[in-house]
Amino acid sequence: MRKSKSISWLKRLGPGLITGAADDDPSGIATYSQAGAQFGFNTLWTVLLTYPLMVGIQMVSARIGAFSGHGLATNIGRHFPRWMLHGIVILLLLANIINIAADLVAMGDAVTLVIGGPHHLYALGLGIASILLQVWVPYQRYVNVLKWLTLSLFAYVGTVFALHIEWSEVWSRTFFPHITLSRDYITMIVAIFGTTISPYLFFWQASQEVEEQQRAPAEEALKRRPEEAAAGVSRMQFDTCVGMGVSNAVAFFIMLTTAITLHQHGVHDIESSTRAASALKPVAGQLAFILFSLGIIGSGMLAIPVLAGSAAYAMAGTFKWSNSLEDKPAAAKRFYGVIALATIIGAALAFSSVNTIQALFWSAVINGVIAVPVMAIMMLLAVNAGVMGRFVIGRKMRVLGWCATVVMAVAVIAMLATMA
């Protein structure tokens, strides 16, 4: 009986869990590491704010996919000007490729840190492995692979418990932080929000919900199966709450680890996730170093398919291509072609002399520029009966979604102001 309950619990986890876990990619790890190293406990409070906002906006994207039976790109193309869709998709593709390159660099460096060897070849090998998994492994098996990869993120939880922590001080500074209005602090808060709420996550989760609906016996959108709507929403809420919870918990533990070790030992400048792992070794020991490094590799293997896949779903929805991971490669050549091309270009950039930190900076800028209009469009789609049928989102979801949109808009304005 207990075993059957655990199996049922696991089956309810899918798009939301994978989306949330993919948010903690090596690029995000670098941001959270820098936050902890530079400001100690004073950025931990951000996870308390971002969690409900993430749940709200990701639930909106999930419901659009599930009830309309189409991904975000298709819905935007049907209800908004085509030029707007094309602009969003081009920027999304550009930002995702840059992110893939940065993640592959970090993963290759992490392997080199642990076992030595040529980091560029490791980056290329990991990129090829990601392509093969997406193209040749059937969807159901592939989703299970991604679910198990989320366990790699718990390396950061293990890292914390390998250290001595005064938890009373941690909780005190989390709920009552020392907030300053310095340019560096504001920039870091903006970076955390930009890393946490990213457009590729919206496109991925909506499309994954479409994949889930296509597996139903009737293969119809949820709005045409009203008798199953309540159960579907319940599953999405559970899945999304757990997935965003994992995302924010891991971010919290990364910031906490680097605050306790690097910040308290005077190491305040971390340029990448692998620099954070290297800096941990002399102050936190071999175990913390290995756990942190392995987490980088595992999180990258989870994030790269989401980055490449969300770009492919967006392109396919824009140009009305067949777009399902259930399809055989021969039946969806252009869809899988985008996945392969985005990853290959990312791997090529990893071999180039492109400054990874600058690339990540501009990726964050691009994500910020497109996040706000995409979120606003999603909110308008979610209250459109032509999209959602009679299952338009309620007041609570509207408040959460628009709050997330406004907070992200403020973050982008602050980012542009600090750039100026």
pLDDT of residue 281: 62
pLDDT of residue 6: 44
d(C-alpha 302, C-alpha 153), whole Å: 10
Sequence-distant (≥ 6) Cβ neighbours of residue 84 within 8 angstroms: 76, 373, 377
If 0-12 CB within 10 Å is exposed, 13-18 middle and 19+ buried, where does residue 133 land? middle
* pLDDT digit string, tens, across residues 329-355: 888 889 999 999 999 998 888 777 666
Q: CA quadruple 205, 210, 215, 220: dihedral positive or negative?
A: positive
Q: How far is CA 22 from CA 80, 151, 198, 411, in A?
A: 28, 12, 11, 21
Residue stretches of the chain with pLDDT short of 70: 1-12, 139-140, 147-149, 151-153, 156, 162-163, 215-222, 265, 267-269, 271-288, 353-358, 360-361, 419-420
pLDDT of residue 4: 44
Residues in the chain, total: 420
d(C-alpha 223, C-alpha 229), whole Å: 7
d(C-alpha 308, C-alpha 346), whole Å: 10
pLDDT of residue 210: 86
Query: Are 384 and 63 in contact, with CB atoms under 8 Å apart?
Result: no
Give CA angle at 26 (51, 55), nearest 5°: 15
d(C-alpha 153, C-alpha 291), whole Å: 10
Query: Are 135 and 332 in contact, with CB atoms under 8 Å apart?
Result: no
The residue type of 221 is: A
If 0-12 CB within 10 Å is exposed, 13-18 middle and 19+ buried, where does residue 238 land? middle
